[in-house]
Amino acid sequence: MIINESDLASYLFMTWSSKKRFRIPDFQRPYVWDEQIVEDFRKDLVDLENNISFLWSLIFLNNQNWKYDIVDWQQRIMTITIILSALRNYAKTIWEHWHTHLISSIQARIAQVDNLWNSWDYYLECWENTNKFFVENILDSNADMNHYDWPRVLKKETSKWNIKRNYKYIYEIIWEAINWQLDDNKAQYIDNILQNLDKYKIVYIEVDSDEEAYTAFEIVNARWQELWNIDLLKNLFFKLAAADGNKKPMVEKWSKIEDNISNASMTKVNLESYLKHFWHARYWKSRILSTRRLFKEFKNEIESEKWRYDSFSDEMLEDSLLYEWFTNPMAFEFLSHNKYNKQVQDYLYSLKNFWITQAYILFLMLFRYKDSIWEKNVRNIIRSVASFHFSYSAISKLQWNKVEKLYWRYAEEFIIAVESESQDNFNEIYWWFKSKLLSLFPKEWEFKDNFIELRYKSNNKDLLRYCLREYEKIIKWGYGESIPDFTNTNIEHIIAQKNNWFDEQMHHWIWNLMLLSEKLNSKCGNKELSEKLPFYKESEFEMVGDVVDTIASNNGSRNDEDINSRKKHIADSLYDYSKKIIQSQ
């Protein structure tokens, strides 16, 4: 192991004589720095005199093939390169011929160049699925992404997405800072940034083996566990796997874990939150852990026996797949009983649309032990949670932290009950769990005050559809378990939007909405109410029939009494129904 200090100019940018090239291995996490971190970094470069010129520790593995695998520092080296690319491309807008040396000087920090700025032998190679994009749009001296559209990138392509976003952000900041100045001043501004960048100090740690690299990473980051839990954990897995010659399978397994959690990203979870849910759902012997303690507990468990790291990673992979299922429940079968399975899918889908993830620790336990729990009980618990969060979170918007602690506690209690193999114990725990949910259930006024403000918007269509579906169940089936068929339905505005005051202000409120089949909804279009009534009469939904009857009794129109009555009935029905579901399960 070689540990030394240097500045970037001497070590990173002027490495061509020694032919050093750096590579970000595929197992490293994606490029995730956001605009705020990039902006703080850029400010330091502009005002180096008032900041500490230290860029943390660069740890890399010497592969003896002129390529050095970066173990720690990939976020910074990617950002530095993106900044250089933005500076180079802005320098191209300074047309005086004698400024061309500035462009070559910048590109020389990225690659070897000739007098025509042609580049080869780039100093940085990144992840295999990103490198071609990185070369063509950042490293290549001919890449100038300001004069044509970027290639289309999906947000789930994390590294590409952040490369594109951060480049555009940096270039815009540079443009705003100096575009109004004379060309000489623009060149001087860029040159000052380059000089500041060259002065930055690094401590580089060069190691000769995977195990040595992972050890160095853990030591260097030991005091930053609250920020580095996921990276420290991955590092520990790779260290133990490398010592056993098991590195490649571990890299593949970890990649699958990251992909599964990434696929669940629309539910607002990340690897850090997953780690907490996984630990407490699997190892309930530990109470709620602080972020600082979490990695220590993981490490103790993983190192408890020789091959524990391998089986432990299998457990993480298994539960990460459930996270993906929670995100896309309609694509997976959770239970063997078809009726219960469809209901569970529906409840999980609703929770996803409510942006509720706090219950995932409980669901991880339920589905891991589902073969030991009556399927009806699995369905009932998830149904109770969905009904609770409809009233508590989606409508009343109450604080979620109390509920999260409740799920952590009862995940443990349910595991104890299941492992005791006593259905009576399980039923007793379930009774107490429901009692706790009911004790937190919103007051009637909390629910109704928020519910009457509910209206049709682009970001809450799923919530409105849930409300109308549940309302249809109530008026058609009471509190039974039968579910009408809601496939191919749309949300219908009873009074269409017009130019008068009443329609402009009121037509999006929930009392003016109902469910209608796609076919009938299309026929209705924006017709007047009297023209839509014949189509309404064809609907099989009870809520539509009630509206038709009310309009008929009011001589073909709607009045304030009708509106207030429907608004109150929907609110009362949904509040009572949600609470009764928890009480009756």
Boundary (domain end) residue, out of 443, 474, 499: 443
Radius of gyration of the chain (CA): 30
In a domain, 365, yes or no: yes
Angle between helices 271-282 and 247-263 (to 10 degrees): 100
| pLDDT at residue 420 in the model | 87
| pLDDT at residue 516 in the model | 92
Boundary (domain end) residue, out of 393, 418, 443: 443
**Same structural domain for residues 358 and 250?**
yes
* Spatial contact of 529 and 537, defined as CB atoms under 8 Å apart: no
* Paired residues of 514 in beta bridges: 492
* Paired residues of 381 in beta bridges: none
* Spatial contact of 526 and 497, defined as CB atoms under 8 Å apart: yes
First to last CA, the chain: 63
CA 162 from chain centre, in angstroms, equals 14
For 72, the 3-state DSSP assignment is: strand
Domain count across the chain: 3
* pTM to 2 decimal places: 0.69
Q: How far apart are alpha carbons 534 and 538 in whole angstroms? A: 7
Q: How far apart are alpha carbons 47 and 193 in whole angstroms? A: 9
The pairing of beta strand 2-7 with beta strand 201-207: antiparallel
| pLDDT at residue 285 in the model | 59
The pairing of beta strand 21-23 with beta strand 124-125: parallel
In a domain, 231, yes or no: no
**Same structural domain for residues 244 and 391?**
yes
For 517, the 3-state DSSP assignment is: strand
Checking if the pLDDT of 463 tops 80, the result is: yes
In a domain, 213, yes or no: no
The whole-chain average pLDDT of the chain stands at 81
**Same structural domain for residues 19 and 121?**
yes
| pLDDT at residue 224 in the model | 45
**Same structural domain for residues 349 and 415?**
yes
In a domain, 303, yes or no: yes
Checking if the pLDDT of 388 tops 90, the result is: yes
**Same structural domain for residues 551 and 482?**
yes
| pLDDT at residue 393 in the model | 92
Mind listing the pLDDT tens digit for each residue in 311-357?
999 999 999 998 888 888 888 888 888 889 988 998 998 888 888 88
**Same structural domain for residues 476 and 574?**
yes
Q: How many angstroms separate the Cα of 535 from the Cα of each of 157, 165, 530, 552?
A: 46, 49, 10, 14
**Same structural domain for residues 399 and 488?**
no
Q: How confident is the model at residue 577 (pLDDT cuts 50, 70, 90)?
A: very high
**Same structural domain for residues 176 and 264?**
no
Checking if the pLDDT of 501 tops 50, the result is: no
Amino acid at 246: N
Q: How far apart are alpha carbons 334 and 366 in whole angstroms? A: 10
**Same structural domain for residues 188 and 172?**
yes
Amino acid at 394: A
Checking if the pLDDT of 360 tops 80, the result is: yes
In a domain, 297, yes or no: yes
In a domain, 435, yes or no: yes
Checking if the pLDDT of 149 tops 80, the result is: no
Q: How far apart are alpha carbons 167 and 34 in whole angstroms? A: 11
* Closest to 317 in 3D by CA, of 284, 265, 358, 282: 282
In a domain, 223, yes or no: no
Q: Is 77 left (phi over 0), alpha (psi -120 to 50) or beta?
A: alpha
| pLDDT at residue 119 in the model | 66
What domain range is 433 assigned to? 236-443
| pLDDT at residue 51 in the model | 52
Where is average pLDDT lowest: 47-56, 109-118, 404-413, 517-526? 47-56
In a domain, 221, yes or no: no
Average pLDDT over residues 467-481: 79
**Same structural domain for residues 394 and 305?**
yes
Mind listing the pLDDT tens digit for each residue in 10-58?
666 655 445 567 888 776 778 888 777 777 776 766 665 555 566 667 7
Question: Which stretch of DSSP H or E encloses residue 227?
Answer: helix 225-243
Q: How far apart are alpha carbons 263 and 324 in whole angstroms? A: 6
**Same structural domain for residues 11 and 48?**
yes
* Spatial contact of 156 and 327, defined as CB atoms under 8 Å apart: no
**Same structural domain for residues 337 and 379?**
yes
